[in-house]
Chains A and B, each alone.
Chain A
Amino acid sequence: MNQFRKTLLSLSTAVCIMGLTAAAQADTLKIGLAGPATGPVAQYGDMQKIGVMAAIEDINNAGGVNGMMLEGVIYDDACDPKQAVAVANKIVNDGITQVVGHLCSSSTEPATDIYEEEGVLMITAASTSPSITEKGYKMVFRTIGLDSLQGSMAAQYILNNAKPARVAIIHDKQQYGEGLATAVRDQLAENDVKAVMFEGVTPGDKDFSALIAKLKKENVDFVYYGGYHPELGLILRQSAEKGFNAQFMGPEGVVNSDLAKIAGDASEGVLATAPKSFDQNPVNEARVAAIKAKGEDPTGPFVFTAYAAVEVMTNAMTATKSTDSEALAEYIRTHDFDTAIGKVKYDEKGDLTESTFLVYRLHKDGSKSPAE
């Protein structure tokens, strides 16, 4: 018991000291960084973190914003909608008024309600679901294109370049995956290409043998998968084992090196729509080198969209000379920004006016190249 008291005492002392140090650094401006730091898709959270931290470092090295140094504070929502709401409340309680995040659309959407109500500026670098900006919120922006654009880009590619005989569309029954799958199906249908299958799989499932046998029986030669890489990786791997050799295509949620790790050789040649490889852009050469120097990977699809999100925020702060999030939101909506992802301009809803996607072909070493 005595031991327990001592631990408690030292713990509370530690908390007090932490509180003091926080109070001492009054001239830092905290930027919340909300996304999955744990959970099955934590890798995307890492991409966002790499981008945001690189941007903060560059800005601080250049003297900060309005005399203040930036500090990134990481909040883990594990891509779980319930946890995202808890995280959003915690951000509000911590007095943070600028957030980069969240990452998964299903987490971003419930969180936006809280940010809008509490006047927290939120820029998501990765959530592509159209419904996020459809509520007419004033505080919500993104630095990435929409699913509807991504879906139609995939559909255009299927119609004009791939021209398959029999298309199947598979999705993971989640907001992001099913939304994209539906967009692709509808656009194909408008052009008189009817998908022979439209089915959901359960996220977390490991066995897709029954589904693959069905695809094989239907003589499908092209599969569009709306979802993330853990399931697609297994589908690819099991397809190869069962001798089912169709062309697969996915959204940017499948674009990361784990796909190649899971599927091995079977991941060679998979198509995917992804944000342009901003790390290939000569403008970002110095930034890429700086990230590489820290031993981190600058090639993830959300690294530079996250970088740009911080740039949009800080540019607005410099221009308005304030950190009042409502003033910032108003400024962001009405001005252009030069960022790591090129020129950024917003429409009334807070969406980018230009698409940032391109069709890529993925390779088994985890790299990608623009598709022909």
Chain B
Amino acid sequence: MSEFSLYLLQQLINGLTIGSTYALIAIGYTMVYGIIGMINFAHGEIYMIGSYVTFIVIAGLLGMGIVSLPIILVIALVVAMFIASTYGWTVERVAYRPLRGSNRLIPLISAIGMSIFLQNFVVLAQGSRDVALPPQIIGGWNFGDPSTFEVSLSYMQVLIFAVTFISMTLLTLFISRSRMGRACRACSEDLGMTNLLGIDTNKIIALTFIVGAALAAIAGLLLGLYYGVVNPFVGFIAGLKAFTAAVLGGIGSIPGAVLGGLILGVTEAMTSAFFPSEYKDVVSFGLLVMILLFRPSGLLGKPEVEKV
């Protein structure tokens, strides 16, 4: 392969890696929107908390002398998902449930408040500096010609693709096959009617927040390990990008969130590849505006039908 195509391949790998993680976070936004029609602005903060928990657990396990990587990762994942889910559930209980049925703007504001609260809570509890973790998963494959351009694909990147793909598949199966999943779909079609049919919609909404938070924790773990750095402010930027991905793909649609995340990631990488990288956000958000102009409901979103 020529140098140019190798370079293109490398940037594609980079873009897909970033995109996968946007997608994982974006699902949390899209699920909550799909069911109750509201944006959970505290979602980015849940992701950040997931990262912190991962770091604390890994540092703790290493300190206890446990060195087996798979064991560390599994324990960190389980603990991070559990704690993040607890936060997700609490956010719903504190900032959404008491406001159910009120004007849509009110829970939006309370979610923003929740996000600021969580961010500052972590600043106070953990300090505002970057916390770093030495690389845990080292190495990868290199291919191409070292004299022109060598493409590198790290094990960490492969792990990110694999985990994203598996979580996506499991979530899709859960939504389409399980009883709970069916109840979720019913809620997203008509919340009031589902309630009348004897389904505890409060429980289903709480479940949505919990599942979204668990996915954010997975993203927190993966990105925490990939970048090796976390601070209390990472949730804001990641949340913003993931929200963009969700809107791009069509908010409310799970495959849309995945597609939106991948498109956003690849666009960013390709823009950085061929233009000065400061144009990265200009191009990706320009793309968002264009898509919304021509497809207001996003790429895979269903056009909003006014409920009578």
A200-B233 in contact given A38-B123, A206-B227, A217-B3 (Cβ < 8 Å):
no
From B14, B127, B140, B281, give the contact of A213 (CB < 8 A). B14
Within 8 A of B (CB), among A223-268: 230, 233-234, 237-238, 241-243, 258, 261-262, 264
Which residues from chain A contact B227 at a C-beta distance below 8 Å? 206-207, 234, 237-238
A242 to B17, CA, bound (A): 14
A217 to B149, CA, bound (A): 6
A217-B278 in contact given A210-B268, A241-B135, A241-B154 (Cβ < 8 Å):
no
A40-B130 in contact given A199-B277, A204-B237, A211-B272 (Cβ < 8 Å):
yes
A40 to B231, CA, bound (A): 8
From A38, A201, A206, A216, give the contact of B234 (CB < 8 A). A206
Which residues from chain A contact B127 at a C-beta distance below 8 Å? 42
The total of Cβ contacts below 8 Å across the A-B interface reads 103
A214 to B132, CA, bound (A): 25
Within 8 A of A (CB), among B68-127: 123, 127
From A210, A242, A258, give the contact of B129 (CB < 8 A). A258
B273/A210 in contact, CB under 8 A: yes
A205 to B277, CA, bound (A): 12
B15 within 8 A of A: yes
Which residues from chain A contact B223 at a C-beta distance below 8 Å? 206
User: What residue of chain B has the Cβ atom nearest to residue A37's Cβ?
Assistant: B128
B150 within 8 A of A: yes
B186 within 8 A of A: no
A213 to B3, CA, bound (A): 12
User: What residue of chain B has the Cβ atom nearest to residue A200's Cβ?
Assistant: B278
B130/A209 in contact, CB under 8 A: no
Q: Which of A40, A204, A211, A241 has the most chain B CB atoms inside 10 A of its CB?
A: A241
**Nearest Cβ in chain B — how far from A334, in angstroms?**
41
B277/A200 in contact, CB under 8 A: yes
Which residues from chain B contact A264 at a C-beta distance below 8 Å? 132, 134-135, 228
A217/B229 in contact, CB under 8 A: no
A201-B14 in contact given A39-B128, A206-B229, A262-B130 (Cβ < 8 Å):
no
Within 8 A of B (CB), among A5-20: none
B276 within 8 A of A: yes
**Nearest Cβ in chain B — how far from A225, in angstroms?**
13
From B7, B15, B228, B276, give the contact of A200 (CB < 8 A). B276
A30 within 8 A of B: no
Interface size class of chain B, counting residues whose CB lies under 8 Å from the partner chain: 35 or more
B254 within 8 A of A: no
A210-B277 in contact given A217-B3, A234-B229 (Cβ < 8 Å):
yes
User: What residue of chain A has the Cβ atom nearest to residue B140's Cβ?
Assistant: A241
A173 within 8 A of B: yes
Which residues from chain B contact A367 at a C-beta distance below 8 Å? none
Q: Which of B149, B229, B234, B280 has the most chain A CB atoms inside 10 A of its CB?
A: B229
Which residues from chain B contact A243 at a C-beta distance below 8 Å? 142, 150, 152
A58 to B169, CA, bound (A): 65
A242 to B15, CA, bound (A): 15
A202 within 8 A of B: yes
A212 to B276, CA, bound (A): 12
B11 within 8 A of A: yes
B231/A199 in contact, CB under 8 A: no
A43 within 8 A of B: yes
Within 8 A of B (CB), among A177-219: 198-202, 204-207, 209-211, 213-214, 216-217
A214/B272 in contact, CB under 8 A: yes
B26 within 8 A of A: no
A202 to B285, CA, bound (A): 15
A40-B130, A213-B10, A241-B152 known; 19 new pairs, CB 8 Å cut-off, are A40-B128, A40-B129, A40-B233, A200-B276, A201-B277, A206-B234, A209-B17, A210-B277, A213-B273, A230-B231, A233-B229, A237-B229, A238-B227, A241-B140, A242-B154, A243-B150, A258-B129, A262-B228, A264-B132
Give 7 A-B contacts (CB < 8 Å), ordered by A residue.
Answer: A38-B128, A198-B276, A207-B17, A210-B269, A217-B7, A234-B227, A264-B132
- Residues of B participating in the A interface, judged by any CB pair closer than 8 Å: 3, 7, 10-11, 14-15, 17-18, 123, 127-130, 132, 134-135, 140, 142, 149-150, 152, 154, 156, 223, 227-229, 231, 233-234, 237, 268-269, 272-273, 276-278, 280-281
| Closest 9 pairs (CB-CB, A-B) | A210-B272, A200-B278, A209-B14, A210-B269, A261-B132, A262-B132, A199-B276, A206-B227, A213-B10
